[in-house]
Amino acid sequence: MNPSDVPLAIFYTLVFPGLLFTGVVGLALTWIHRKITAIVQSRIGPPWFQPYADIGKLLGKKMVIPRDAPVIGFLGAPLLAITGATLTAVIVFRSLLQPSAGFVGDLIVLFYLSALPAIALMIGGAASRSPFGAIGASREMSMVLAYEAGFLLAVITVMIHTQSVRLADVHAFQAANGSIAGSPSGLLAMIVFVLCMQAKLGFIPFDISEADTELIGGPLAEYSGTGLALFKLARSMLFLVLPTLCVLLFLGPVRATALSVVGFLPKLLAVLAALILIKATHARLRLDQALRLFWGRIALAGLVAAGLALLGL
Amino acid sequence: MKALDWCFKKSIWVYHVNAGACNGCDIEILNALTPYYDVERFGIRLVHTPRHADALLVTGPVTRQVRDRLLRLYEATPQPKLVIGVGSCPTGGGIWHNTYATLGGLGKVLPVDLYIPGCPPRPEAILYGVAQALGLVPQQVAPQEYAEVT
């Protein structure tokens, strides 16, 4: 990288398409999600500015650090979460806006970066010196091991289709051969991807590590003020970035033209609607049920998808 | 800060504390959270840990046993915070105003921002009270002091 690129890189990371843009749009999507949940439950739901007011209020509150808590771990965890979400956002949106940009292996890097918020949750929960945090962290760890397997298998299916680990080649492949979800293996992989995304976002039925009604927030139980705001913001950002990644990987070619934006938004909204409706109409699974689901049926479906892709279907 | 004040008023997360209540007020609080009244319209949410809370909704006359826990809960809640007494018991002790087992009212333990009297108060009254604490609606009743004839 040239030294002259540094200001541009900082702009990419902090303003557009990084922290600021993804944060603002992600919070707007959080409002849509809360509004749709409210409509499903025959309520009116919150006003449009509600997620912004929540974050603003949390930023204005005092942050309590529990007695004897390791300060670096406790304060570093929210920063790690927001860093992971921001970097994921930069790579995904750069690829969306400039389909030919990117570097070799960015799919693999994305896979690791998108796991950072979950790892931050574990660190924060373990560092909070609270039994709720410790139980939440251990549940999160079990869940991460389970759903990342399915997530990886879905991504591997895409890699087999495109014979590449670059997002740019995924675009090129889909521009030449139609969307990956059009093939049987691609469709199966996308279903696996959406279910794993549900778990990655910590949504019902897979919000087992936070479980408001039994673990009072799990890893987040001891967080207040800024720390809680950063975790919520990271969650909202992932709520924008992961569905975008899903559209990029499975739902057809994206070109950097005005027309493709029009084509892109309905696809994104369809993925979001699937996530929100699963969340609004299901109850929380127990940890053992969720682990059996992910290690059993979902991992199996992912393996079948990868196998079909190897056979060229 | 004006913007932060506005955010605080638009997003109140309440933590529900039972300080020896008979469960009547608790049921009315839960009623206020049902889809029929839908407090999420006003940004009010029930949270499950005092660390996330902006307001403590306290019911009950504060028994001697619960006093220390109540104080610890108050300290565990980050600033800025509101304390709201729901029902006749936190307001002045209710029918337990002079029994040996209770402290006779929330005001003797914590600095209270607002009382919502009633035995139990209706869900509408609870919503009105919280809205009043946020400065959205005017006050409807004034406090009156009565002395017991001995």
pLDDT tens-digit readout, A18-61: 788 888 888 999 999 889 888 888 888 888 888 998 898 888 88
How close are the terminal C-alpha atoms of chain B, in Å? Answer: 51
Which value does ipTM take for this structure? 0.82
Tell me which residue has tokens 């007494």: B85
Q: How far is CA A233 from the centre of its chain?
A: 12
SS3 A258: helix
Residue A2 pLDDT greater than 80, yes or no? no
In terms of Cβ atoms closer than 10 Å to its own Cβ (0-12, 13-18, 19+), residue B41 is middle
Q: pLDDT confidence of A256, banded at 50, 70, 90?
A: low
Per-residue pLDDT, averaged over A207-214, amounts to: 80
State residue A107's pLDDT score.
84
Spell out which residues of chain A touch residue B38, defining contact as CB-CB under 8 Å. 38, 43-45
Q: pLDDT confidence of A259, banded at 50, 70, 90?
A: low
State residue A255's pLDDT score.
59
Read off the pLDDT of residues B31-80 as tens digits, 9 standing for 90 and up: 888 888 888 888 888 888 888 898 898 998 888 889 899 999 998 898 88
State residue A158's pLDDT score.
87
- Dist CA A216 CA A222 (whole Å): 10
- Across the interface, whether the CB atoms of A64 and B54 are under 8 A apart is answered no
- Dist CA B94 CA B24 (whole Å): 13
State residue A1's pLDDT score.
60
What's chain B's length in residues? 150
Angle between helices A6-14 and A71-97 (to 10 degrees): 100
Q: How far is A213 from chain B (nearest CA, A)?
A: 7
- Across the interface, whether the CB atoms of A45 and B38 are under 8 A apart is answered yes
Between A98-107, A118-127, A144-153, A193-202, the lowest mean confidence (pLDDT) is in A98-107
Whether residue B90 contacts residue B115, with contact meaning beta carbons closer than 8 Å, is answered with: yes
Per-residue pLDDT, averaged over A85-100, amounts to: 82
State phi, psi for B74 to the nearest 5 degrees: -60, -40
Spell out which residues of chain B touch residue A54, defining contact as CB-CB under 8 Å. 7, 11, 43
Per-residue pLDDT, averaged over A268-287, amounts to: 88
Nearest to B52 among A43, A46, A224 (CB): A224
Residue A143 pLDDT greater than 70, yes or no? yes
Q: Is the pTM of this model over 0.90?
A: no
Whether residue B30 contacts residue B121, with contact meaning beta carbons closer than 8 Å, is answered with: no
Count of other CB atoms within 10 angstroms of residue B44: 23
Dmax of chain A from CA atoms?
Answer: 59
Whether residue A216 contacts residue A222, with contact meaning beta carbons closer than 8 Å, is answered with: no
Residue A173 pLDDT greater than 60, yes or no? yes
Interface of B with A (CB under 8 A): 1, 3-4, 6-8, 10-11, 35, 38, 40-41, 43, 47-49, 51-52, 54, 76, 78-80
Half-sphere exposure of A110 (CA within 13 A, CB side): 29
